[in-house]
Amino acid sequence: MIRRATRDDVPAIAELVYELAEYEKARHECTLTVEQLDVALFGPSPALFAHVVEVDETIVGTAVWFLNFSTWDGVHGIYLEDLYVTPQQRGAGHGKALLAALARECTEQGYSRLSWAVLDWNAPSIAFYEALGARPQDEWTAYRLNGEALTRLGSMPT
């Protein structure tokens, strides 16, 4: 069953995020706490959303997402931050069902796009996404500012 996450799902979602970080060879970079995720999803000003896959009353997958905005289209879109299904549940259609739920969210809300990033070495995921009709946006280069560089820039006078 695919459904919107509830507050009771937060510990399971956090665990799946850590499993994804391990899969992506970046476990050491993941510092998310259950408390942080709870506030982001269900605090006074939630800006993060999630769907879960539940099989036999166990959460086995998640899609964690937030709204972005296209100034060119003039409407919101969804940015999929994390899509993860446990290894033993892969191949059962759960990932596709999660993406379908987000696509439905987009169409029902009038959002113009569903976007995400995938590591360039993750061939199984790339093949899965392309089989759904997704196409890489290879004319764009992603950038990130974090850590010391973010602090340094943020401390400059404006």
**Looking at the annotation, which residues are catalytic?**
129
DSSP secondary structure of the chain? -EEE--GGGHHHHHHHHHHHHHHTT-GGG----HHHHHHHHHSSS---EEEEEEETTEEEEEEEEEEEEETTTTEEEEEEEEEEE-GGGTTSSHHHHHHHHHHHHHHHHT---EEE---TT-HHHHHHHHHTT----TTS------HHHHHHHHTS--
